[in-house]
Each structure stands twice: as structure tokens, then as C-alpha cells.
Structure 1
Amino acid sequence: MHSIESSPSTPAKGMPLHYKVLIGFVLGTALGLAGHAYALDAAWIHSVIDYASKPFGQIFLNLLFMLVVPLIFSALVLGVAELGDIAALGRLGWKTLTYTAVVTAAAVGIGLLCVNVLQPGLHMDPALVQKTMSSNVLKAGEIVSKGNELRLMDLLVNIVPHNIVGAMGDDKQKLGIVFFALMIGIGLVMKPTAGTNAFKNAMQGLFEICMHLIGMFIKLAPYAVACFMFNLTFQLG
């Protein structure tokens, strides 16, 4: 029986990745603060941001985002197929739903607590705060208006995608991908044939490829974090 768990690999030699990320965080912050203090109006540093640090950070995020859909799809299909029992899927679904609700509530609570205690942006330059808020006021208004239009039945209906290819290209329809993957997994459980086993093996291969690529891309995280912090601290000071 196949398993979606990756095989254990030999520990990488050298400095652990999280230490490298921390170094990138500190280095990017220090360089950004120095640039903000001493070269805020220098043309060359804006060129570095526009043609190096900002594109590199965005490319890093895009490398990870492009694997989200195939990773979610293959992992869910394999996870359901490995259960081998539709009744077990129902029990697992309720446990997952409860866990998601509890963790989401905890995340919202932590966010509200941090905002009220730390009050981010309180000590920033008022002109910079006003500029940042004015540039995002339209987007904030759009989010509020969309939120007011949400209805429970619309959310339930939209979980079932009418076009799975369109759902894969729309960040607002990720639940549709989850539903489609669950249906495919259930189909694999209910119809065990040579053809469905071949499809299951293909999903196993897709999952392993995605995990391997993520392992490659995540090695760029220290440099991406340095770029993010450099861009942020140079702009905000």
C-alpha cells in the first residue's frame, strides 16, 4: 500500500535552515534601516529594490504558490483513498471541521490581542501612515462590500465548482478544489480497478514531486526573507 508520507532523508549538513532564515531576517532589516537613514533618496537603492530584491521575493512566493493546487489535490486524493472506508471519512471530516474551527478561532483571538496590545503603526510617521492607508482604501472598501454580500447558502453552493479548471485558477475557490479532490478520493475507494490503481500511483508520484520541489524552493527562504525585510524597513524606517 502506498503512503503519502515522504521517505526519511539524510539530515542536511551545515547550518539549519531556521538559523539561516533568522540571519536573513536580521541582515535584511539592518540593511533596510541603514538605507532608510542614509540613502532614502538615492536612485541606485531604488533600482536595487525594483530590479532585484522585490522581484526575487515575488518569484519565491510564486514558486510556492504554483505548487499549492497540485499539492492539495494529490494529498487529499491519496488521504481519502488510503482510508479505504467511506464511514471513516465521515468521522474524520467532522473531527477536521471541529479542529479547523477551534484553530481559526484561536488565530483570530491571537490577532485581535496582538493588535490591541502592540498597536502596530502607532509610532510610525503620520504622513507615511496616511499615505499607506489612502493607497489601500479602495481595496478595503471592496473587501467590506464583498463581506456584506456573503450569504450562507451562497457559500455552500460555491463549494461545489461548476468548472474545476477555473477553480484552480481562482484563489477564492480553493474549497472547490478540496471538494473535487474528496470526490475523486471517494471514487477511488468505491471503484478499485487496475485503472484507478494506476491513477492512484500517478497521484502518489505527483505528491512526491511537489514535496521534493518545495524542499528545493524552501532553501531560498533566507534570501527571500532578507529581501522582504529590506524592502519593508527601507520604506517604513
Structure 2
Amino acid sequence: MKKIPLHTKIFIGLFLGVIIGLVFGPKAKNIEFIGTIFIRLITMVVVPLVFFSLTLGTASLGDIKKLGRIGIKTFIYFTLTTAIAIIIGLLAANLLKPGTGLNEQVKQELFKNYQQTAQAKISAAQEKPSLISVLVNIVPTNPLKAMAEGEMLSVIFLALIFGLCLTLIDTQKSKPILQFFEGVNETILQVVNLVMK
């Protein structure tokens, strides 16, 4: 029997999610935990996957000039994908208009519960940081904290620095580290594959 490609499975899942939401409405909340677990599983592996794969990629280059070019490309790619995600989010929100079908009582309850959180996020978004502060904040003061909080630019910076330093130390010392990183990276990819199936 022919295997269904992964992207087809994803679209089937999206389509089924929309159908279940339309048919069952608020009752579909009972199976919301399935989607939440799926999202959490994917989120769980993002930071380690980025760190280990980028470190391995950087260490395998062995040339600082190549690293500079790759670093710039990575930064541009990350910025572009973030911008695309924001555009998709804005388009989806404006087209679908979530919350328009809610009754007044539910609206008031949501407003009461989330007003402070929303206001804090609006205030934070309005305080535009300068380019210098953005660049300074890319360098993490605590690498583990940056990873735990999912600060992707800091994780990318850390991976590039770590990979570069692995190329600068003796091969006999860097080889076991790289082998360990390769094993971890393969395992993480297997986890992603398992979750997506």
C-alpha cells in the first residue's frame, strides 16, 4: 500500500480540524487537548533542533569566511520567515475575524479575564527597541535561559559561536563532541518524524 506523504497528512489534519470545529462548535473543546499536545511536542524540539543542527553545520564548514556568509544568510532567513509568519497571522485574523460570533456575555468575560495581559503586550509592542539594543540582546547573558525561553536569535548566535570554536580546537578534542551532537541531532529529527506521523 502506498504511503501518504507527510504534507498531505498535514493538510488532511487541518481540513478535519476545520470540519470538526464547524460541526461540533464549542463541544469540540473536549478534544482540544490533542492539538495542544501536538503543538507542545513540536515546540519542545524546535530549540534543540536549531542549536544542534546549526552547531554541526557551522563546525563542518571549517572556514571562518564561509561562516560569516552562512551567518548573514541565516539571520536574513530567520527575519524573512518571521515576517512571513506575521503577515499570514494578520491576514488570517482580518479574513476570519475570530470572535465575531461570540455573544456579549462571553465577550465581557474574556475582556475581564485578559484585559491586563493584552494591555501589557500592547505596551511592550509600542516600545520599539533600537537596532543597537536588538544586536546587544542577541548575545545571551545566560545560554540556558535563552534556550528555555525560546529566544531564537540568541540560540542561533550561540550555535554559530559554539560551532566556530569547535573548528578552532584540536580535531581529537572536537571529534567526540561532534559525534555526540550528530547523535543528538539524529535523535531529535527522529522525534520530529514520529510526532509528524
Superposed pair shares fold, TM > 0.5: yes
Distance 1:217 1:112, change over 3 A: closer
Q: Which amino acid aligns with 2:135?
A: L
> CA shift at 1:209, angstroms?
0.7
- Report deviation, 1:211: 0.5
Distance 2:87 2:39 in 1: 27
Shift of 1:193: 2.3
Structure 1 residues 98 and 115 mapped into 2: Cα distance closer, same or farther (>3 Å)?
same
2:101 match: 124
Q: Which has the larger radius of gyration?
A: 1
2:97 match: secondary structure: coil
Query: What is the SS of the residue equivalent to 2:4?
Result: coil
How big is the shift at 1:90?
Answer: 1.2
Instruction: Letter of the 1:211 partner, please give it.
Output: L
| Candidates 169, 188, 208, aligned match of 2:186 | 208
Aligned residue for 1:139? Answer: 117
Q: Deviations over 1:22-68 (max 9, x none)?
A: 333333433333333xxx6xxxx58x71xxx2322222222222212
Q: 2:22 aligns to what?
A: 33
Relative to 1, partners in 2 of residues 1:55 and 1:109: Cα closer, same or farther, differing over 3 Å?
Answer: closer
- Report the equivalent of 2:176: 198
Q: Which amino acid aligns with 1:190?
A: L
Give the distance between the partners of 1:66 and 1:110, measured in 2 at CA.
Answer: 23
Which amino acid in structure 2 is aligned with residue 69 of structure 1? Answer: V
What is the CA distance between 1:85 and its match in structure 2?
0.4
What 5-or-longer segments of structure 1 have no aligned partner? 1-11, 220-237
Shift of 1:94: 2.6
Partner of 2:137: 158
* 1:1-237 → structure 2 map (5 Å cutoff): 13-36=2-25, 45=27, 49=30, 53-105=31-83, 108-109=86-87, 112=90, 118=95, 120-121=97-98, 124-125=101-102, 127=104, 131-132=109-110, 135-152=113-130, 153-171=132-150, 173-219=151-197
Cα distance, 1:174 vs structure 2: 3.0
Q: Distance in 2 between matches of 1:103 and 1:16?
A: 24
Alignment partners' CA distance in 2, 1:66 and 1:113: 27
Q: Distance in 2 between matches of 1:115 and 1:64?
A: 23
Decide whether aligned partners of structure 1 residues 88 and 216 sit closer, same or farther in structure 2, where only a CA change above 3 A counts: same
Kept after mapping to 2: 8 A contact 1:168/1:177:
yes
Output the amino acid matched with 1:93. Answer: G
Q: How many angstroms does 1:183 deviate by?
A: 1.2
> Aligned equivalents of 1:62 and 1:102: distance in 2?
24
Gaps of 5+ in 2: none
Measured after TM superposition, the shift of residue 99 of structure 1 is 4.2
Equivalents in 1 of 2:90, 2:17: separation in Å?
28
Equivalent residues, number: 195
Moved more, 178-187 or 23-32: 23-32
Find the aligned partners of 2:37 and 2:87 in 1 and give their Cα distance: 32
For normalisation by structure 2, the TM-score amounts to 0.79
Q: 1:105 to 1:20 in 2, by over 3 A?
A: closer
Instruction: State the SS of the aligned residue for 1:67.
Output: helix
Tell me how large the CA RMSD over aligned residues is: 3.0
TM-score by length of 1: 0.68
| Cα distance in 1, alignment partners of residues 184 and 102 from structure 2 | 49
